[in-house]
Amino acid sequence: MSAVDVAARSLPVARPVSTRFFRSELAMVFGRRRNQVALAVLGAVPILIAIAVKLSTPKPGDGGPQFITQITQNGVFVAFTTLTVVIPIFLPLAVSVVSGDAVAGEAGAGTLRYLLVVPVSRTRLLAVKYATTVVFALAATLLVSAVGVIIGLILFPRGAATLLSGNTVGMGEVLWRLFLSSLYVAAGMAALAAVGLFVSVLVEASVAAMAATAGLAIIIQVLDAVPQLHAIQPYLLNHRWLDFGDLLRTPMITTNVVHGLLIALAYAAIFFSLAWARFGGKDVSS
Amino acid sequence: MTTTTQPSTGSLDRDAAGAVPAVSTHGLTKRFRGGQVAVNAIDLEVPYGSVYGFLGPNGSGKTTTIRMLLGLIAPTAGTHELFGLSMPSRAGQILPRVGALVEGPAFHLHLSGQANLTRLDAADRTADPRTAKKRIGEALDRVGLTVAAGKKVRNYSLGMKQRLGIAAALLQPRELLVLDEPTNGLDPQGTREVRSLVGSLADEGTTVLVSSHLLSEVEQICTHVGVMHAGNLIRQGTLEALREGQVARVRVHTGAPGEAAAVLSRLGLEQVNRQGTEVSAALDGRAPEEINAELVRSGVGVRGFIVDAPTLEDVFVALTGEGFDVSG
């Protein structure tokens, strides 16, 4: 074949925007048995809490998670209570599993080299992997909230609710604030996912990446709980995670929530960039 | 990236026929951390339309070279182009034209063969989603996996995975196929099938770069050969050019080896060698039938008469002074 023929051959043209890979990744993540189990466990938490509260009404001063005493007045508080329960460990664990597996899982299976020669540019691969993990974090959070609302409204009173500030608002307003709270929680988890993605490009065994990310998530919980470390605590990723309760006041107190969002954004930007810098020039020899 | 790239001059390397080679490398080198040189300044040239056998023992640097060609690992030194376009900077334009099987097949075991191919196709921005199903079906059909398409890859044999890997490389029409040890793990029947598949792809005009540590396997389908040894490309060229200088040998089994040897020497054959009841000599362009006739005329009882064409194995031994075994 002559050079002219080669040049005349119609060269493959890449569509500028294609969501096919992203959709295929979503199907992979949500189709994974392991991830489905994680979602099922998370979805079971509000049911357990609702049943427990139904069987034994908690009284103020009994302790227990934030909002648990409000449940008997309004079922939607099952969702808020559950968020409080799953934020420290359950949600971070689920996010650690998915984000730690993102690149390391492909490297371990050997499929990473085949994706790269398709070709998928390394930047696009990371972007798609990260976006998929963020969607998973959001879905997990919304699932917890949705199941909480449903079981709460089945077992407990519905209608107007009394906020933390003492005002009473309608059902629609409470659900709106629950939605905002869920988004806020998901934002924190999305930032953790960026940390997991970075760990995932560092190692080639996905189990190691998942464990390391989950370990980090637990370590920051410990650091945030030690009073002597208050100087560094405002910079910890999880420091403002539980402050979504500020959204349940009228007017909403946004100082801490905005601080939490800025921290999440900073962590996401820094760790995604680190992952990109590391992965961009990495020799893929798995 | 730690690539030391030279600025592209814009001019293309062309071979004598004026065609841009499918692959050309210039001083391509990979030194691993710890200083081990896996690939040492090789100048590989795979002519467009050729079937290039990339040969060498395990550990001679073939897979490392292939990984560099595809942009998976960065060269320590040197440059390379595919279709005259510089890698890795033009990877986005180059790689859609390349199908590759690198160091064995790898798939998600919990997905079916078809689902794995669908995923790879989805990742390809140059692939038309409307034809995906058809193309995937054709690729599976071409490697004979249609029946097993819905089975989880976990339940595939190594040979089936290997074939699925080749199917993945064939999802789109390709100009270049890079097949790293494509017959690893295949039984003799599977090996024959892969060989005939490569042959038919080559007939369609696809350039094929096929690596192997089994010389005899590749010898039958290649037009060009490059021989790696301990990180160096010690020879490359057409198969005939490589065999040049290597002579066929004639082997005679006889009850009278002494007389046979005398006849062969009288005929002017060189390197006459006697071993038990076998006498061998370099054929050196002589017609074997004349030699046989002369043996019979001289009263030597010929029990067996064999002509050994020079094999790549012989070429390799001649080049390296070593057998084609694992090199360290």
Nearest residue of A to residue B204 by CA position?
A1
| A181 closest CA partner among A232, A260, A244, A135 | A244
Is B104 at the interface with chain A, CB within 8 A? yes
Place A66 in a pLDDT band, splitting at 50, 70 and 90. confident
Whether chain B has a CB inside 8 Å of the CB on A10: the answer is no
| Contacts with B255 (C-beta within 8 Å, 6 or more apart), sequence order | B277, B301, B303
For residue B179, list its beta bridge partners.
B101, B210
**What's the complex ipTM?**
0.86
Using the Cβ of A283 and the Cβ atoms of chain B, whether some distance falls under 8 Å is answered with yes
Strand, coil or helix: B320: helix
HEC string of B34-103 equals: CCCEEEEEECCEECCCCEEEEECCCCCCHHHHHHHHCCCCCCCEEEEEECCEEECCCHHHHHHHEEEECC
Return d(Cα B95, Cα B78) in angstroms, integer: 19
Q: Quick one: which H or E segment has residue B212?
A: strand B207-212
B125: how many CB neighbours lie within 10 A of its CB? 21
Closest-CA residue to B76 (of A124, A80, A93, A283): A283
What distance in Å separates the CA atoms of residue B42 and residue B16, rounded to the nearest whole number? 20
Locate tokens 């004349």: which residue? B290
Q: Mutation test of the interface with chain B: which of A26, A118, A204, A285, choosing the one with the most B Cβ atoms within 10 A?
A: A118
User: Which residues, in sequence order, are bridge partners of residue B87?
Assistant: B80
B1-40 residues touching A, CB cutoff 8 A: 1-2, 12, 14, 17-20
Q: Which residues contact A20 (CB under 8 A, 6 or more apart)?
A: B122, B123, B129
Does B17 sit within 8 Å of A115, measured CB to CB? no
Parallel, antiparallel or unpaired: strands B207-212 and A161-162 = unpaired
For residue A28, which residues of chain B lie inside 8 Å, CB to CB? Answer: 108, 111, 119
* pLDDT tens figures, A194-234: 999 999 999 989 999 999 999 999 999 999 999 898 899 98
* Chain B contact present for A110, CB below 8 A: yes
Residue B17 with chain A: CB contacts under 8 Å: 2
Distance (Å) from the alpha carbon of A119 to chain B's nearest alpha carbon: 6
CB B98 within 8 A of CB B69: no
Angle at A167 between CA A165 and CA A173, to 5 degrees: 105
Q: Do A117 and B102 touch (CB under 8 A)?
A: yes
Per-residue pLDDT of B208-220, as tens digits, reads 999 987 777 777 8
Search chain A and give the residue with CA nearest B50: A1
Write out chain B residues lying below 8 Å of A118, CB-based. 95-96, 120, 123-124
A191: left (phi over 0), alpha (psi -120 to 50) or beta: alpha
Q: Is the dihedral of CA A146, A152, A155, A157 positive or negative?
A: negative
Which helix (H) or strand (E) covers residue B273, if one does?
A: strand B273-275
Q: What's the pLDDT score for residue B33?
A: 84
**For A32-117, where are the alpha helices, taking DSSP H only?**
33-55, 77-86, 90-109, 111-116
How far off is chain A from B103, nearest CA to CA, in Å? 9
Walk along chain B (328 residues) and give the pLDDT tens digit of each residue.
344 444 433 344 444 455 789 999 999 999 988 888 999 999 999 999 999 999 888 888 999 999 999 999 999 999 999 999 999 888 998 999 999 999 889 999 999 999 999 999 999 988 888 999 999 999 999 988 999 999 999 999 888 898 899 999 999 999 999 999 888 878 888 888 888 888 888 898 899 999 987 777 777 888 999 989 889 998 888 888 877 767 778 888 888 888 888 888 888 887 788 888 888 888 777 788 888 888 888 888 888 888 877 777 777 777 776 655 544 3
Angle, CA of B61, B64 and B65, to the nearest 5°? 85
Is A275 in contact with A125 (CB distance < 8 Å)? no
DSSP state of A1: -
Q: Is A24–B123 a contact, with Cβ atoms under 8 angstroms apart?
A: yes
- Element containing residue A182 per DSSP (H, E): helix A171-202
Contact A33, A39 (CB under 8 A): no
In chain A, residues 230-249 whose CB comes closer than 8 Å to chain B:
none
